[in-house]
Structure 1
């Protein structure tokens, strides 16, 4: 590493390069206890401090999409033998955004960016999640209409949503809600049991070309699109009773 001191400061996420120049001009920046001046370079092993506080290198943000197989639990609790973290065995700390039931499969996001987790999980964001669901008996028009218009589960009526028959026992559903085990509970309320549930899309990201059990990083374009989609979301907020914003 050999970069200018203002770029080093901005790369840590402490402030912009322009603001870093002001700190340097004010004599508030040191490199190895020597007051820095504009144009100084920072090399590997150098200690850069602002107002006597060492600057820590910012962690690179990780955003990944996993096609979760059945039997993996969306928990970071390593006491659970089927936990998603041990399954991935990734080199640094990451955590899932929302969850899929152990018996469900399909798309789930993982990241080390707590800020984007909060934004995506907020119910007010109304982000779409798309699923293909197989049930234990043939679906009919009455069932499809009921699913579309809302089903009473857990003391509330689910929001209206897109539902389309895809086969004798199979349908596609797009949710913006994320109540706990929502699709399974909706089906059970109408006398059906879910035999297979696969999430195929979250927001702008799909399972395309991602085999079961495999993962990939988001592309730059995907990150930019998601950032734009959550731009109006505050970091904290009332989930309006929706405690699992990315559940199925």
Structure 2
């Protein structure tokens, strides 16, 4: 194996640095919109991990045109592709469903739906904040392997929870044979818990509650990173405004 073959691909390194997604990186490289150490890069190029990578103006412009949407997902919609007769959440992104309180200086365009994908799951029987994005940087921030962005939930439950059970919800449970990261869980009121997680396994909160003898009656996500669901009405959406960040 040659020395260069052991080096990372440019697209992988760009994604790891949070410049864009790997798919976007390949597109930009193919168009000649990326320079490495001052030279225009070619597709499939392998580079040193400390290489100087520059996105040209065309790539930066393409990124600025990509939108991120915050949706208050109702129960009965799936986060991703349509399944079992249920509509995907993206079907709610219609101009008439845009929240009147949206302050982002964007006019809705059909192009904003192209490649729009959920950055994280919200179960069909759950409601609350769902992020849909065209931007690979946002997706990496929220669902990348090393993402530590907090997600906060209000969870209405039935059953008795001991002090030991509450302690286990905070730290000490495992799912799918793997220990869960420490969480923050406390009573919000008599029948509702507040969960703050830094990971998102499938149906994680419902399965955690099962393990300590609780049944989930309702689940609502109210925060992702720095952004709150706030006054966004159920079934409506808004754009991520300039200057807003999740981390």
TM (norm. structure 1) is 0.63
Alignment partner of 2:75 out of 64, 70, 75: 70
Other-structure match for 1:180: 202
Other-structure match for 2:93: 88
Deviations, residues 154-212 of structure 1 (Å, cap 9, x unaligned): 21221221111011221101000111111111101111111101000001110111111
Other-structure match for 1:149: 171
Q: 1:133 to 1:100 in 2, by over 3 A?
A: same
For residue 73 of structure 1, report the CA deviation from its aligned partner.
Answer: 0.4
Q: Which has the larger radius of gyration?
A: 1
Number of residues of Structure 1 aligned to a counterpart in Structure 2: 176
Equivalent-residue separation in structure 2 for 1:15 and 1:169 (angstroms)? 54
* Structure 2, unaligned runs of 5 or more: 1-30, 39-58, 96-109
Deviations, residues 125-152 of structure 1 (Å, cap 9, x unaligned): 2110000101122444333212112212
Say which SS state the counterpart of residue 69 (structure 2) adopts.
strand
Equivalent-residue separation in structure 2 for 1:163 and 1:81 (angstroms)? 31
Other-structure match for 2:130: 108
Equivalent-residue separation in structure 2 for 1:14 and 1:79 (angstroms)? 42
* Structure 1, unaligned runs of 5 or more: 1-11, 20-54, 230-248
Which ranges of 4 or more aligned residues in structure 1 deviate by more than 6 Å?
none
Give the alignment's Cα RMSD to 1 decimal. Answer: 2.7
For residue 114 of structure 1, report the CA deviation from its aligned partner.
Answer: 2.8
Other-structure match for 2:48: none
Other-structure match for 1:9: none
| CA contact 1:139–1:168 (8 Å) conserved in 2 | no
| CA contact 1:133–1:170 (8 Å) conserved in 2 | yes
Alignment partner of 1:219 out of 233, 236, 241: 241
For residue 106 of structure 1, report the CA deviation from its aligned partner.
Answer: 0.4
TM (norm. structure 2) is 0.64
